[in-house]
Amino acid sequence: MPDSLPPSPTASLDESAARKTEALDSLAAILPALAGPERTDQLVALLSEEDIATLRHLAQEGIGENSLRALTSDCSYLEGWCLAARGEPLPWPAPVPLILKFIAHHLWDPERRKTDPAHGIPEDVALALEDLKLLRKAKGDGAHRAPHAVTTVQRRLASWSTLHRWRGLQGAFSAPDVRSAMRLASRVAGRPRTRKSRRAVTADLLEQLLATCNGTDYAAPSLVDLRDKALLLIGFASGGRRRSELAGLRLSQIVWEDPLPADPIDPGSLLLPAASLQLGRTKTEDASDDNAVLLIGRPVEALRTWLEAAPIVEGAVFRAIDRWGNVKARGLTPQSVNAILKSRCALAGLDPAEFSAHGLRSGFLTEAANRDIPIQDAMQQSRHRSLAQASSYYNDAGRSRRRSARMLG
């Protein structure tokens, strides 16, 4: 008789799950969004050990938190979709037919889908993705499924390609068949691109939000008021910083500058306080880039007031505050920044559903366009790298002033 029996398949699976759980726990220390038993169990079921090893390598390479979160989400979705569509994990590298199948399952003609249930994602695949909590259920009885947003599919294909590259593999995502299929599918998917925030937080709306931070007739502004006022002013005046950048802002990134004249062409004008924000790594720029932005006047005053009242001498600039008014050591999360803006909208009598933190970014560019500030000047502050993207806000802002629209008025 043999000295020992070979390990059972069940034991091997348990050992693999334990290794994946341990690896995910260490990854969660870097990416808090992965924390929690329910999320860990989902990722253990979907991701291979190789997937998790790739994500850990990316984290150690210093990839941005938001990018790593998106890669993790996209990798788990791709693995779940392949399991639902083919009954097996993702193959590496992915063949062209599989990439084409992914496009066909997520971008389709909504009108044809109404008469041809086989067009687009098969119902059994969609139901399996719902069970895996990777796809929302169709709303209402007899509701027709809608295709994914083109930008979502583009991002997932880009993530798929990135994961190939970091595994040392060559993906086929630039193959002529893939590019052609993506281009044709995008035309018929029928979902126009929408803004991240329906309404831009322009200067007039910003003033309404700031008015809710002034305290009451019976009480001075609270710490929450002071924090939110500084957050809104810094978020807008710094070029419309992304919510992740505001949440991650550290005191070490602030450089207090000498006062500057209110009128740049009149050195004798009133001097205003100034500060620079050293942005470090952002969504579009590396930490090595010279990507500081200058703040002058009210935003600097509000920031000083908040830091002194908190008081904060190191670490995160914008922090959580508990119900008793205690300022926590931890910084806000990007989701908290969004929630703060929506809360201030509600207090100002505005519909929170029409706004998100991205409204500060779109509002900055829209306001710059309304004031006829050259787009290159505005882009220096917003740190947009794409002229086409920044121009879209300028085009929207100038639409109502166009003479060409009044020829028959």
Place of tokens 């900055």: 364
Quick: pLDDT tens for 133-177. Answer: 888 876 654 457 788 888 889 999 999 998 898 888 888 888 888
Per DSSP, 316 falls in state B
At 272-290, the pLDDT tens digits run 999 999 986 555 555 545 6
Residue-averaged pLDDT of the chain: 82
If one counts every other C-beta atom within 10 angstroms of the C-beta of residue 71, the result is 25
The residue assigned the tokens 């998917």 is 189
Neighbours of 369 (CB within 10 A): 22
Percent of the residues in the chain that have a pLDDT greater than 90, as a whole number: 34
Q: Which helix (H) or strand (E) holds 327?
A: strand 327-331
> How far, in whole angstroms, is CA 131 from its chain's centroid?
25
Question: Nearest CA to 295 among 205, 223, 230?
Answer: 230
Structure letter (DSSP) for residue 173? T
pTM of the model: 0.62
Phi and psi at residue 161, in whole multiples of 5°? -65, -40
The answer to whether the peptide bond before residue 89 is cis (omega within 30 degrees of 0) is: no
Which residues are within 8 A (CB) of 285 and not within 5 positions of it... i.e. 6 or more apart? 279, 291, 383, 385
- Convert the pLDDT of each residue in 340-397 to its tens digit: 999 999 999 999 989 998 899 989 998 888 888 888 888 888 887 777 777 777 766 6
Assign residue 312 a region (left: φ > 0; alpha: ψ between -120 and 50; beta: otherwise). Answer: beta
pLDDT, one tens digit per residue, over 196-248 is 557 889 999 999 999 999 988 788 899 999 999 999 999 999 998 989 899 98
Cβ–Cβ < 8 Å for 274, 294 = yes
Q: Judge contact between 31 and 7, C-beta under 8 A.
A: no
263, amino acid identity:
D
- pLDDT for 193 beyond 60: no
pLDDT digits (tens, 9 = 90+) for 5-60: 455 444 455 666 677 666 666 565 555 555 556 666 777 777 777 887 888 777 77
Residue partners of 177: CB distance under 8 A and separation at least 6: 96, 100
Using DSSP's 3-state secondary structure scheme, residue 319 falls into strand
Could you give the CA distance from residue 292 to residue 152 in angstroms, rounded to a whole number? 30
